[in-house]
């Protein structure tokens, strides 16, 4: 998945890492895009701090935004054990933002390549980026689909694929990893 993404990046791309976790994709994309931009969305403060530390450790630059992209703005509680897949339990309050509104206001540039890993909130994230993903210059979307968590967000695997197709992407499964799998949406 990472190799496929890196092989398709172009020098001036704007890459969104939605659900940055600890910054693996962020750091690799930042290294591959010295002329481009990398914007990471990671709402959990400890994880966002880790991304920033990993960027600094590797002398790389990216805009790390401490917010989640969704189809509504506000606050939400994320289950720490479900989202982070840790043995600890509890919740963390996070900020939700509509991606289209951030682009519209000029808070972030529109992306050309997007990676989404949001533990079941895939459809909410995608629909909050409807206008942005529909732009002709947004040519690639990589999404990790989490079938076991999608129902928590009143969504299905088919909903994710249908939304991407609606915004102009052909969709292909790239890699299965247990119950989760990666898809790539690509515009011709």
Is 119 within 8 Å of 91 (Cβ atoms)?
no
Q: Tell me the per-residue pLDDT of 17-40, one tens digit each, with 9 for 90 and over.
A: 999 999 999 999 999 999 999 999
20-24, 49-53, 112-116, 173-177: which has the minimum mean pLDDT? 173-177
Is 110 within 8 Å of 135 (Cβ atoms)?
yes
Output the CA–CA distances (angstroms, integers) from residue 4 to 61, 115, 142, 169, in the order listed: 22, 12, 10, 17
Q: Tell me the per-residue pLDDT of 142-165, one tens digit each, with 9 for 90 and over.
A: 999 999 999 999 999 999 999 999
Question: For residue 18, what are the β-bridge partners?
Answer: 41, 116
Burial of 49 (0-12, 13-18, 19+ CB in 10 A): middle
pTM for the structure as a whole? 0.92
């Amino acid at each position: 998945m990472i190799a496929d993404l890196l092989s398709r990046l172009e020098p001036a791309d704007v890459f969104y890492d939605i659900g940055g976790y600890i910054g693996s994709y962020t750091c690799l994309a930042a290294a591959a895009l010295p002329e481009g931009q990398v914007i990471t969305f990671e709402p959990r403060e400890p994880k966002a701090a880790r991304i920033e530390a990993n960027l600094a450790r590797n002398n790389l630059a990216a805009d790390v935004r401490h917010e989640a992209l969704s189809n509504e703005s506000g606050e939400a509680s994320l289950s720490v054990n479900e989202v982070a897949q840790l043995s600890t339990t509890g919740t963390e309050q996070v900020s939700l933002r509509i991606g289209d509104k951030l682009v519209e206001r000029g808070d972030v540039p529109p992306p050309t390549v997007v990676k989404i890993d949001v533990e079941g909130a895939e459809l909410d994230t995608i629909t909050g980026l409807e206008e942005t993903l529909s732009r002709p210059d947004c040519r690639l979307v990589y999404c990790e689909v989490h079938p076991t968590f999608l129902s928590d967000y009143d969504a299905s695997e088919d909903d994710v694929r249908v939304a991407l197709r609606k915004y102009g992407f052909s969709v292909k499964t790239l890699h299965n990893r247990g119950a989760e799998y990666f898809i790539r949406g690509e515009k011709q």
